[in-house]
Amino acid sequence: MRNLLNFLARFSNTIIFLFLEGVALYMLATGNHYHNARIGNTVRGITRGLEGRISNGRSYLNLREVNEKLLAENVALRNRLGRVIKPENSYFSSYTDTLFNQKYIFASAEVVNNSVNRQKNFFTLNRGARQGIKVDMAVTSENGVAGVIVGCSENYSIAMSLINVDFKLSARIRANGYFGSLNWDGHNYQYAVLNEIPQHVSVNVGDTIEATGYSAIFPEGTLIGTISEYEKVGGDFYKIKVLLVSDFKKLHFVEIIGDLKKTEKLDLEKLFQ
């Protein structure tokens, strides 16, 4: 009680001023239609502003749940392109490509750790062996190639990022079908380099670069990026700079893709190597 009395005594002038200001505003608003309307509009404007900020805050807090739902819906829609087989209690859905007779399985995952400023970059996913993840499965972002699984624990997996100097991928120019070897040169995380494209081939800035599917990791046609610039190296080949479609500084939700016929393909190829 003493603290309350001390507070009132200390701020008595301020309290009386605010009280009188309130009384004055009330009398002004009730005694004049113009001021009544102006004050009412001001109060409503402030109320709408606060409601808008509260609504935006709630929407922001719900973004994680929305993104997870959208990713799950995206996986489901891709699987409906062909014959869908989804075992009970399975984290994967499978899709059979009736055109090429290849079967892939898809799963969604969240990136829980990531690096972009090293020569050898990796990222961690919240899916592991218990959820059916295996080494050499492909990882794609919402736009294109992101990496490949190189290690698994029970509930987590590690993917080698495309922006890793040890990462190599068979890639081709969509416009003409010529393919070469794509890798990251360790400089800018937004660009990779496509080599082994002969100089007699027509190359244009803006041409789309995609996966060939030869590695049996990434499905044929998976987007990688677009040609940013190119130059002649020696007398035979181009050195092509590719602007990547995946933004590795914003990598969050990804898809994991497995080729169920990969082992059959590789075992057959080993017989002739």
Ordered structural domains, the chain, with CATH: 2-61 (no CATH), 108-270 (2.40.10.340)
Q: Which of 94, 157, 89, 172 is nearest to 126 (CA)?
A: 157
- Judge contact between 138 and 222, C-beta under 8 A: yes
Rounded to two decimals, what is the model's pTM? 0.67
Mean pLDDT of 205-220: 93
pLDDT in tens, 133-179: 999 999 999 889 999 999 999 999 999 999 999 999 999 999 999 99
Question: What is the C-alpha separation between 190 and 85, in angstroms, rounded?
Answer: 36
* For the chain, percent of residues with pLDDT exceeding 90: 50
Question: What is the C-alpha separation between 31 and 36, in angstroms, rounded?
Answer: 8
Rounded-to-10 torsion of CA 164, 165, 166, 170: 90
- Judge contact between 155 and 149, C-beta under 8 A: no
Cα first-last separation, the chain: 92
- Judge contact between 42 and 35, C-beta under 8 A: no
User: Which 3 state secondary structure label does DSSP give 165?
Assistant: coil
- The CA-based diameter of the chain, rounded to the nearest angstrom, is 98
Q: Given a cut of 90, is residue 63 above it in pLDDT? A: no
